[in-house]
Amino acid sequence: MTATPRTALTIAGSDSGGGAGIQADLRTFFACGVHGLTALTAVTVQNSVGVSGFTEIPPDVVAAQIAAVAGDMGVNAAKTGMLATADIITAVAAAVDAADIGRDRRIPFVVDPVAASMHGDSLLRAEALEAIRTELLPRATLVAPNLDEVWLLTGIEVRTAADSRKAAEALLEFGPRWVLVKGGHADGDSRCVDLLSDGTHLVAFDGPRYDTPHTHGGGDTLASAITAHLAKGLGVPDAVAAGKKFIERCVAESYALGAGVGPVSPFWRLRPDATPSRG
C-alpha cells in the first residue's frame, strides 16, 4: 500500500476521440499526481474533424455521481467542463453546495464555461448560457473562459490588454472569486497572455505561443492542471502559474492524430527528467 493521493473531481463530458473532455481531465490529474474522480454529463460523438452529436446524462444521475464520490472518498478540488443543458447546471449547483464545493466553501471549484468545440460545434444548449451566468459563476472559486466564452458571457470582444481587464471586471460582477481571461485564442499575437484577477490583484501570465494546429483539449488540460494544483493545497495564483507551465509543455508536445486537430499531450510527464516548460 502507498499514501493516499489528493483527489480532484471533474464534472464534464466524454470526447470519443480522447483529446478533450473527461479524458483530458483524467490524464491531466494523473500527470499531476492526483486521483481523478468523475461525474459524466454527456457523451459526445466526435473525432479530430468535429463533433457529430451528443447525448446528455440525466441531471439526477450527474448529481448522484457527485454525491457518491464526495460522500465516500472526499474531494480536494473540483472542476466543470461541458455541462450541456440548463437542467444539468441546476443539478450540479445543488450537488456542489451539498458537497461543500465552491466559492467561500471548503473545497475549491474551477468553472471552465465550455460552450463549443474548437471546430465551433455547440456543446451547450442555447438556453443554458444564462444558467452558467446565474448558477455557476457565483459558486466559482475561479472561472477560466477563453475569448469566445468571454464574448458569449459578457458581450465584450477582447482585442487588447485593456479589453481583457474590462472583461475580467465584467465577469467578476457575476460573483466568482477569481477570473482567468485566457488569451490563448487571440489572433496574431506572438505571446499568450492570460489575465488573472479577483478585483484587487491583477496578475498577467505571459508565455510563449507555440506554432501548432494541434491544440485540441488545451482549455480542459489547463483547467484540470489548475484544479489538480488546488487539490494539492496551492492558492489560486500559484495553481494558475503551475497550470500554465504544465499546459505550455503539453502544447509544445502536442501531436497529429486523425485528419483534423490533434491533442495536446502530457506524455512528457512520463519521462524520468520531466519538468514543465520554462518558456
Residue ranges that bind ligand PXL, judged by CB under 6 A = 12-15, 20-21, 44, 46, 81-82, 114, 117, 123, 217, 219-220
Nearer CB in complex with ligand PXL: 30/166:
30
Name which of 12 and 171 has its Cβ closer to ligand PXL: 12
Q: How far is the CB of 219 from ligand PXL (least distance, A)?
A: 5
Q: What is the rounded CA–CA span in Å between residue 269 and residue 31?
A: 6
Using CB atoms, what's the residue nearest to ligand PXL? 21
CB of 21 to ligand PXL, least distance (A): 3
Min separation Cβ 6 and ligand PXL, Å = 23
Report whether 25 contacts 11 (CB < 8 A).
no
- Whose grid coordinates read 505561443? 209
Question: Which residue lies nearer to ligand PXL by CB, 47 or 198?
Answer: 47
CA–CA dist 131, 267 (Å, integer): 36
Distance in Å, CB of 220 to ligand PXL, minimum: 5
State which residue, 81 or 207, has the beta carbon closest to ligand PXL: 81
* Nearer to ligand PXL (CB atom), residue 14 or residue 28: 14
CB of 116 to ligand PXL, least distance (A): 8
Look at the chain and count its residues. Answer: 279
Alpha carbon distance 115, 82 (integer Å): 7
Place of cell 455557476: 136
Residue nearer to ligand PXL on the CB measure, 123 or 128: 123
Task: Provide, rounded to whole angstroms, the least separation between the CB of residue 17 and ligand PXL.
Answer: 8
Q: Least separation, in Å, of the C-beta of 57 and ligand PXL? A: 12
The sign one gets for the Cα dihedral 83, 4, 250, 268 is negative
Decide whether 171 or 261 has the Cβ nearer to ligand PXL.
261
Exposure string (b/e) for 77-109, b if CB count within 10 Å is 16 or more? bbbbbbbbbbbbbbbbbebbeebebbbeeebbb
Helix or strand (DSSP H, E) at 97: helix 86-98
Give min distance, CB of 38 to ligand PXL, in A.
12
Q: Residue type for 86, please?
A: A
Gyration radius of the chain's alpha carbons: 17
Q: Which of the 8 DSSP states describes residue 262?
A: P
CA atoms 80, 169, 102, 36: torsion sign: positive
| Closer of 31 and 144 to ligand PXL (Cβ) | 144
**Three cell numbers, residue 76:** 480536494
The secondary structure of residue 225, as a DSSP letter, is: H
